[in-house]
């Protein structure tokens, strides 16, 4: 097969004279003629012709080439040839791929014609850089990751290996597989060959091996083995119970437990959270739909506005990133007048509990002041409530938006720190849940209360994805010497906190392009 010309000596590619000796009239244009399907003699003839007319024609592909001209090739074929023969990586490729018609018309006109769409070769397999325009960053916060994942086959496999690593408490491997999966999610094309991985960072040997095997065999044996692995299956099952982490799941596994029924039948002492998690297990493992999230949003808003009509409620987490379903619903609550939000969570949860809307709640007090001067931790210190809602299947119509009655207000003062749902009759719902034919669904809801001054940081922190947040913080530390968390951004060089009223301002402080929520699905 006649391929592109082998490397030849390049003679003054940018200089005033073309190798043929004629004056170069159009210096800004650099032509490269693809030999494939054109043949070497026709290529030589066209080269001579063009040079005589003052065009610069390159013998080999280089950065100074602006027009890659070919005859009877598709754009994909030309790209593939260039990559193979000249090691031109998709990343950084800027020349136009054009059909011979542009060349002949330009020769006829005696000058380079403006490129029109009819001249351009269609490229179906779009290269990363051609679409993204810049090299791919190893930081998720510098990539745009929509929900349109073109590499699900690979990312699903890597996700299973990441999960397994997490269940083995191997943080390093968990991160490596998660990063590999995330970077593939951000690619604008679907990978069909190992060459497609050129110029892509964050892919370790192990991840590459997995991808290669899937490309060759359609599946990866390591992933298949993990899926069949008893420990993986059991720990995945146990950690899918609300309130159960890897350590607990592993302990139960080592004690010989394998199923939920065995767990239920065992004498193992469960926490209040785990008891609820097990009780509502089936419901909590059915994804929450957007319609359900919106409905809960209306309920939460109505409840909050009973007590604080000007409070602001924002849907965050996966739904804010555009997901159509999620494992829970996350809301961020604030008030423009800082301080007004204090105590609100108790009032709201208490009232909702009396309305029979709450199956479980666990309120955590704000610990920001206490924590502020210590080592920054993983998440945040907001007042929050991890809850389980009882979402009626029929429309909610009796939720009044009226001012709270005295009873509502009094209730607040009586409430202890935890366990509001106990007072509202969790026990009666226990029987209902067990009964099966119920007209409601248990849904996990997170309510986070943020003081107004920290709202933008809280919104950014609670919108996720987890890897996006992690990389934002990593980026801030490494490149900006700043500490970012869900409360604030601290500049270690100026030794001061940087205020922000919007997410855009936070990205600006970090010197990052703004990435909207639906592109944070890293």
Q: Least distance in Å: CB of 393 to ligand CTP?
A: 21
* Selected binder of ligand CTP within 318, 404, 451, 517 (CB under 6 A): 318
Whole-number Cα distances in Å, 13 to 65, 76, 178, 471: 9, 26, 45, 43
Residue nearest to Mn ion (CB): 317
Q: Least distance in Å: CB of 503 to ligand CTP?
A: 13
Q: Is 461 near ligand CTP (CB under 6 A)?
A: yes
Size of the site for ligand CTP (CB under 6 A): 16
Residue 29 or residue 183: which is nearer to ligand CTP going by CB?
Answer: 183
Q: Least distance in Å: CB of 465 to ligand CTP?
A: 5
Q: Where are the alpha helices (DSSP H) in 199-245?
A: 205-217, 221-228, 230-239
Q: Is 380 near Mn ion (CB under 5 A)?
A: no
Q: What tokens were used for 245?
A: 């982490």
Q: Is 166 near Mn ion (CB under 5 A)?
A: no
Q: Least distance in Å: CB of 345 to ligand CTP?
A: 15
**CA–CA separation, 492 and 513 (whole Å):** 21
Q: Least distance in Å: CB of 454 to ligand CTP?
A: 13
* Selected binder of ligand CTP within 83, 166, 301, 330 (CB under 6 A): 330
**CA–CA separation, 115 and 102 (whole Å):** 7
**CA–CA separation, 224 and 236 (whole Å):** 15
Among the residue ranges 27-35, 215-223, 365-373, 457-465, the one whose residues contact ligand CTP (CB under 6 A): 457-465
10 Å CB burial of residue 208 (0-12, 13-18, 19+) is middle
Among the residue ranges 235-243, 316-324, 392-400, 403-411, the one whose residues contact ligand CTP (CB under 6 A): 316-324
Contact 96, 68 (CB under 8 A): yes
Q: Is 380 near ligand CTP (CB under 6 A)?
A: yes
Query: Per-residue string for binding with Mn ion, 285-304, x by CB under 5 A?
Result: --------------------
Task: Establish whether 328 is a catalytic residue.
Answer: yes
Q: Is 290 near ligand CTP (CB under 6 A)?
A: no
| Residues of this chain, 72-111, that bind Mn ion according to CB under 5 A | none
Please state, as a whole number, how many other Cβ atoms lie within 10 Å of the Cβ of residue 324: 12
Q: Which residues pair with 98 in a beta bridge?
A: 69, 120
Task: Establish whether 446 is a catalytic residue.
Answer: yes
Q: Is 5 near ligand CTP (CB under 6 A)?
A: no
Residue 250 or residue 330: which is nearer to Mn ion going by CB?
Answer: 330
Task: Establish whether 195 is a catalytic residue.
Answer: no
**Active-site option among 330, 361, 362, 471:** 330
Q: Least distance in Å: CB of 327 to Mn ion?
A: 6
- Assign residue 117 a region (left: φ > 0; alpha: ψ between -120 and 50; beta: otherwise): alpha
**CA–CA separation, 471 and 99 (whole Å):** 43
Q: Give 166-210 as a DSSP string.
A: HHTT-HHHHHHHHHHHHHHHT-SS---SGGGGTT--S--HHHHHH
Q: Is 326 near ligand CTP (CB under 6 A)?
A: yes
Q: Which does 465 bind (CB under 5 to 8 A by kind): ligand CTP, Mn ion, none?
A: ligand CTP
Q: Is 478 near ligand CTP (CB under 6 A)?
A: no
**CA–CA separation, 454 and 472 (whole Å):** 17
Report the Cα–Cα distance between both ends of the chain, in Å, rounded. Answer: 42
Q: Where does 14-149 show beta strands of DSSP type E?
A: 30-33, 56-58, 67-70, 96-99
Tell me which residues touch ligand CTP (CB under 6 A).
317-318, 323, 326-328, 330, 379-380, 461-462, 464-466, 469, 486
Task: Cite the active site residues.
Answer: 328, 330, 446
Tell me which residues touch Mn ion (CB under 5 A).
317-318, 326, 328, 330, 446
């Amino acid at each position: 097969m006649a391929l592109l010309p082998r490397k030849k000596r390049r003679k003054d590619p940018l200089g005033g004279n073309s190798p043929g000796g004629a004056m170069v009239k159009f210096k800004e244009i650099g032509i490269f003629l693809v030999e494939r399907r054109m043949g070497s003699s026709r290529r030589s003839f066209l080269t001579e012709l063009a040079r005589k007319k003052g065009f610069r024609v390159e013998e080999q592909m280089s950065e100074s080439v602006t027009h890659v001209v070919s005859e009877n090739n598709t754009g994909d074929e030309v790209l593939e040839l260039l990559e193979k023969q000249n090691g031109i990586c998709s990343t950084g490729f800027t020349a136009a791929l054009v059909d011979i018609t542009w060349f002949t018309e330009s020769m006829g006109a005696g000058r380079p014609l403006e490129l029109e769409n009819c001249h351009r070769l269609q490229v179906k397999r779009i290269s990363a850089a051609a679409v993204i325009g810049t090299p791919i960053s190893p930081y998720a916060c510098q990539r745009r990751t929509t929900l349109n994942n073109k590499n699900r086959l690979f990312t699903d496999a890597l996700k299973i290996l990441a999960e397994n690593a997490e269940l083995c408490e191997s943080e390093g491997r968990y991160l490596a597989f998660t990063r590999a999966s995330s970077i593939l999610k951000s690619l604008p094309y679907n990978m069909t060959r190992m060459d497609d991985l050129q110029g892509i960072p964050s892919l370790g040997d192990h991840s590459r091996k997995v991808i290669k095997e899937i490309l060759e065999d359609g599946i990866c044996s390591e992933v298949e083995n993990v899926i069949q692995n008893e420990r993986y299956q059991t720990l995945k099952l146990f950690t899918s119970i609300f309130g159960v982490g890897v350590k607990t799941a592993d302990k139960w596994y080592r004690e010989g437990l394998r199923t939920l029924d065995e767990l239920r039948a065992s004498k193992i002492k469960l926490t209040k959270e785990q008891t609820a998690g097990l009780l509502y297990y089936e419901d909590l493992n059915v994804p929450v739909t957007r319609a359900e999230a919106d409905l809960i949003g209306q309920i939460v808003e109505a409840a909050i506005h009973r007590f604080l009509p000007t409070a602001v409620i924002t849907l965050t987490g996966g739904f804010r990133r555009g997901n159509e379903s999620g494992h829970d619903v996350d809301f961020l609550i604030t008030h423009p007048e800082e301080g007004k939000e204090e105590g609100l969570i108790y009032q709201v949860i208490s009232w909702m509990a009396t309305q029979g809307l709450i199956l479980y709640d666990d309120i955590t007090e704000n610990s920001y002041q206490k924590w502020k001067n210590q080592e920054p931790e993983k998440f945040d210190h907001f007042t929050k409530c991890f809850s389980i809602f009882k979402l009626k299947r029929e429309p909610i119509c009796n939720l009044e938006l009226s001012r709270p009655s005295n009873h509502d207000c009094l209730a607040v003062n009586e409430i202890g720190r935890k366990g509001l749902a106990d007072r509202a009759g969790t026990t009666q719902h226990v029987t209902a849940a067990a009964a099966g034919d119920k007209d409601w669904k248990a849904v996990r809801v997170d309510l986070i209360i943020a003081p107004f001054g920290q709202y933008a940081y809280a919104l950014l922190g609670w919108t996720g994805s987890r890897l996006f947040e992690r990389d934002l913080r990593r980026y801030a530390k490494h490149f900006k010497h700043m500490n970012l968390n869900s409360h604030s951004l601290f500049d270690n060089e100026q030794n001061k906190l940087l205020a922000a009223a919007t997410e855009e301002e936070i990205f600006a402080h970090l010197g990052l392009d703004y990435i909207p929520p639906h592109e944070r699905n890293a």
